[in-house]
Structure 1
Amino acid sequence: MPEIGPFAPPRRRTRAVRAARRTGVVALATVAALALTLTGCGTQTVSPASVRGDSGGDGKGRYGSVDCAEATCIALTFDAGPGEDTPRLLDILKEEKVPATFFLLGKNHVLAHPDTVRRIAAEGHEVANHTWSHRVLTDLDRDAIRDELGRTQDAIEEITGRRPTLMRPPQGRTDGDVTAVSRELGLSQVLWSATAKDYSTTDSALIERRIVDDASADGIILLHDIYDGTVPAVPGIIERLKKRGFTFVTVPQLFAPAVPEPGEVYRP
Structure 2
Amino acid sequence: MQGKKRKAAWGIWVAIIGLLLIALTNVWVNGGKETFAKMTENITATKSEPVSQPETVKPETTTVQPKQAEADSAPSTSDSVKPQPAKQAEPTATQPAVAHPPAVKQAVGMELGKKITELPIPGEKVVYLTFDDGPGPYTKQMVDILNANKVQGTFFWIGQNFKPEWAPYAKQMLAQGHQIGAHSMRHEAMGKRSKEYQKHDLLMTAAHIEKLTGQKIIYFRPPYGSINASSVPVTKEVGQYMILWQADSRDWALAHNPQQILTNIKKEIKPGAIILMHERAQSLQVLPQVLAYLKQNGYTIHTLPTGK
Query: TM-score normalized by structure 2?
Result: 0.58
Kindly indicate whether the alpha-carbon contact (under 8 Å) linking 1:224 and 1:230 is maintained by their aligned counterparts in 2: yes
> Partner of 2:223 in structure 1?
170
Distance 1:119 1:74 in 2: 23
**Residues 179-198 of structure 1 aligned to structure 2 (within 5 Å):** 179-198=232-251
Mapped to 1, the partners of 2:302 and 2:170 lie a distance apart of 19
- CA distance in 1 between counterparts of 2:298 and 2:153 reads 17
Structure 1 residues 213-254: Cα deviation after superposition (integer angstroms, max 9, x where no partner): 3211111100001x210012111101111000000011227x
Q: Which runs of 5+ in 1 are unaligned?
A: 1-42, 53-67, 254-258, 260-268
The aligned counterpart of 1:129 is 182
Matched, 1:224 2:285: no
Q: Where do 4+ consecutive residues of structure 1 move more than 6 Å?
A: none
Shift of 1:101: 0.9
Once the 2 structures are TM-superposed, how far is the Cα of residue 45 of structure 1 from its aligned partner? 4.2
Q: Report if the CA contact (8 A) 1:132-1:148 is conserved.
A: yes
Structure 2 unpaired stretches of 5+: 1-112
User: 1:212 Cα shift?
Assistant: 2.6
Bigger RCO (CA 8 Å, 6+ sep): 1
Q: State the secondary structure of the residue aligned to 2:132.
A: strand
Q: Give 1:128 shift.
A: 0.7
Query: SS in structure 2 opposite 1:113?
Result: helix
Which of 136, 140, 165 is matched with 1:83 structurally?
136
In the other structure, the counterpart of 2:265 is: 211
Question: What do residues 117-143 of structure 1 show as CA deviations (whole Å, max 9, x unaligned)?
Answer: 223222111111111011111211233
Give the conservation status (yes or no) of the 8 Å contact 1:198–1:230.
Answer: yes
Find the aligned partners of 1:190 and 1:108 in 2 and give their Cα distance.
Answer: 20
CA deviation profile, 1:176-217 (whole Å, cap 9, x unmatched): 322232112210101101112111122322222222332111
Q: Which has more radius of gyration?
A: 2
With the length of structure 1 as denominator, give the TM-score of the two structures: 0.66
Residue 117 to residue 44, structure 1, CA distance change in 2 (3 Å): closer
CA distance in 2: counterparts of 1:200 and 1:106, whole angstroms: 23
AA matched with 1:178: S
Which residue identity does 1:224 align to in structure 2? Answer: H
Measured in 2, the distance between the counterparts of 1:198 and 1:113 equals 24
8 Å CA contact 1:212, 1:237 repeated in 2: no
Matched to 2:158, the amino acid is L
> What is the identity percentage for the equivalent residue pairs of Structure 1 and Structure 2?
27
Partner amino acid for 1:220?
A: I
* Cα RMSD (Å): 2.2
Instruction: Give CA-to-partner distance per residue, 1:25-84, whole Å, 9 cap, x none.
Output: xxxxxxxxxxxxxxxxxx9646655xx7xxxxxxxxxxxxxxx32220000000111111
Give the Cα–Cα distance (whole angstroms) in 2 for the partners of residues 249 and 229 of structure 1: 22
Alpha-carbon distance in structure 2 between the residues aligned to 1:137 and 1:129: 13
- Distance across 2 between alignment mates of 1:192 and 1:47: 4
Residues 101 and 125 in structure 1, CA contact (< 8 A), matched pair in contact too: yes
Residues 137 and 112 of structure 1: CA distance in aligned 2, closer, same or farther (over 3 Å): farther
Name the SS of the counterpart of 2:174 in structure 1: helix
